[in-house]
Chains A and B, each alone.
Chain A
Amino acid sequence: MHFKTIGGVALAASLVATTALADAGKLTVFDWSGYEDPGFFGSYVEKHGGPPSYTFFGSVDEAFTKLQSGFAADLAHPCSDAVRKWHAAGLLQPLDTSKLKNWDALLPEIKNVDGVTIDGEVWMMPFEWGNTGLIYRTDKISDDEISLQLLADPAYQGKVALPDGAMSSYALAALATGNGANYTNMTDEQFKAASDFLRSVHPNVRFYWADAGQMDQAMASGELDMGWAWNQSELNLIWNGTEAKMMRDVDKGVATWVCGYVHLKSSTTPTDQVYDLLNALSEPASGKYIIESWGYPHANEQAYPISDQAIIKQYGFDDPNAFFEGSLFFDAVNPELEAKMLKEFERIKAGF
């Protein structure tokens, strides 16, 4: 009898838990892999008894293709440069900022990014931002020596990696040729200069990385000396004990990106639950977690004072304005130029 009671209680408890989980899991998020980390949305789990369900994509382009061919989810996680395209394709519904508890606490610079607001309505809640920059082995190249132009130096044949993404590589090329400010709207001449720069780097390229892990491992093993990559790679290398860092000097050239969550038109979960997750993601506590455990700066400015100050200083997150003003910003590139970049980049990679 005694056993039976315990069994009954356990059964009842597990039933409650399963129902809560099922409800929590009804909310589906289409995301980069890794972002299902429960540290990002603690208060959602507290309220709904479980995490949302995640489906993953490998790149924003892949996500776009999948959504356009009918894949349904509640939220998705693109970067700001893709939002105009997603909006034009009719995939998004606007966000109601009055329901976003932390909206006022988000860094004002980030809220002003192109793509967050289109035609007076808000389409993306910024979540995290970061840099794309030149990561180099400090034991092989000195801080004075390093520059974007060094990528094309014949001394580094086979020691360089570029991303297998036209936009990111062209951002690098625009910076290296002194046209960083015109990246989204380059003239034909500037575009040619950027393409020529990438062509001059091509003989040095060991591979065009498609996943950051490939690039991190090659940097750590000594296969590469330099690579154009995200700050995540820099941190992985530092945590791995490799002497490497990102060139963050805005005068020498570094890029900044912002990613966030968008509410999809195909969403079927009650709006309140969707906003519960958005509010959990944008809380200062989630921000502290992503800063300390992932090394990504968060969108909420209240996250910074409560995080480990040494880390904040080391990664240069103490002065976001320096990046926002001095670096190339990954805004949406004019669609015609984007098509040209994609086409030309395939040629460059093939050695044409």
Chain B
Amino acid sequence: MNLRSETAKGTALSAPATLYVGLLVAAPLIILIAYSLWTQTYVDLDRTPTLANYREALTDPLVRHLMIRSILISAAVTVVTVALAYPIAYFIALKAKKKTLWLLLITIPFWSSYLLRVFAWKLILGFNGVMNSALLALGLIDEPLTFLLYNEFAVVLTLAHAWAPFAILPIFVSIQKIDPSLLEAATDLGSNKLESFLRVTLPLTTQGIIAACLIIFIPTVGDYVTPSLVGGSDGKMIANLIQVQFGAANNWPLGATLSLLAMLSVGFVAIVFVIGASTLGRRIR
């Protein structure tokens, strides 16, 4: 009796979330899968199921090229962001006195819209932008630098800035959870500061690092706005190709197929990463 009411309570508590997720995640996913099996014929849809879209996408070198580039760009963004975020999180968690103030300061980029931040980078890196004007004024260059904007570099820089808080927060939480007595014990046992960081702090924060990496890697692979504004033709990513299918090319079935393939690729890379990173974390310990 007791057990049944527990189950009922659990079901009741999870029902709103289940319904919500079901409607907003599962249903669109099913629609996407259905679309990927259809074919576009000029202005109509042919609803006979076929794998032709998958065949086309998988054999197309352009799709492979853009997919690999998207994953590499996101990987670079993840590495840069997490590497820069770790020291900040470390400082706030262990050294800073006014933690709340610091955390508040970190969220400042979120106070302006994502689109505005991308445009801000465009203004900074542009031909007659802040960076070039400053360098020209200082006499360091004679002509504006053109390699700053419209390439992968600009995309990585912009995304790394936009996503920084997402990396800092999970790492901060994981560092703060560390019991200070463990660090004291390490010192008592003769570890110097670097050793106690490498053998105590770092392994204990693996979970935070993994969380930060996933939070940044997964959404940035599919980012559309940043590459289309600052990427030029060398910085285009898979989302830009998907957008073309849903827009100019008016081929929703192929767009749906590309979206699903992108999801699968991201999922695969993320799973491999999590397994690899956890094993590595355990080994250090």
**Which residues of A approach B to under 8 Å, CB–CB?**
59, 61-62, 64-65, 68, 85, 88-89, 158, 165-166, 202, 205-208, 210, 218, 221-223, 335, 339, 342-343, 346-347, 349-352
Contact = CB atoms under 8 A, between A and B. Distances in A.
B234 A206 contact: no
Nearest to A210: B228
Contact of B127 (A62, A210, A221, A343): A221
Interface string B250-285: 100000000000000000000000000000000000
- A-B CB proximity, top 4 nearest: A223-B127, A89-B43, A61-B248, A221-B128
A59 B248 contact: yes
Given A210-B228, A343-B249, 13 more contacts: A59-B248, A88-B43, A89-B43, A166-B248, A202-B233, A205-B233, A222-B128, A223-B128, A223-B144, A342-B249, A350-B233, A351-B233, A352-B62
B150 interface: yes
* Interface core residue of B144, B236, B241, B249 (most chain A CB under 10 Å): B249
A242 to B, nearest CB: 13
B197 interface: no
Contact of B247 (A59, A202, A208): A59
B61 A208 contact: no
A202 B246 CA distance: 24
B42 interface: yes
A65 B246 contact: yes
Contacts, number: 62
B62 A350 contact: yes
B202 interface: no
B146 interface: yes
A129 B250 CA distance: 25
Nearest to A60: B248
A208 to B, nearest CB: 6
B127 A88 contact: no
Contacts of A350: 62, 65-66, 233, 236
A207 B244 CA distance: 17
Nearest to B230: A207
A218 B126 CA distance: 9
A68 B43 contact: yes
A347 B126 CA distance: 26
Contacts of B109: none
Nearest to A89: B43
A61 B247 contact: yes
Contacts of B61: 352
Given A350-B65, A352-B65, A207 B233 contact: yes
A320 B234 CA distance: 40
B219 interface: no
Contact of A206 (B65, B150, B250): B150
B250 A64 contact: yes
